[in-house]
Amino acid sequence: MGLETGEEGEARTNNRSVTMWETESVQITVRLPHDIAKQAEEVQGTDPEFLSRVVLYGLTRRSIYHQLRERSRDRPAPRAL
């Protein structure tokens, strides 16, 4: 998924403009170490909005990393001095 920033509060993904507040629920399953899994279950029960923000933050970082990596592949390597 490619993500480009646009005007404030807006992003472009796959040539479609969406606001950052446009949301959709998804069901995910992840495998975590036992102690972290217990913490995640506790947070999901007590503060699901926080857990949602944590996942959003992680996926956003991943998307940015992939986009920057792709851009660096498209550019020639700098010459050594």
| Closest C-alpha to 5, from 55, 70, 17, 24 | 17
pLDDT at residue number 24: 84
Instruction: Indicate the Cα dihedral angle 61, 67, 69, 75, nearest 10°.
Output: -150
pLDDT at residue number 22: 79
pTM of the model: 0.57
pLDDT at residue number 8: 46
User: Could you tell me the two tokens for 17?
Assistant: 């403009």
pLDDT tens for 6-31 read 444 445 555 555 566 778 888 889 89
pLDDT tens for 49-74 read 999 999 999 999 999 999 999 988 88
Long-range contacts of 64-67 (CB under 8 A, 24+ apart): 64/3, 67/2, 67/3, 67/4
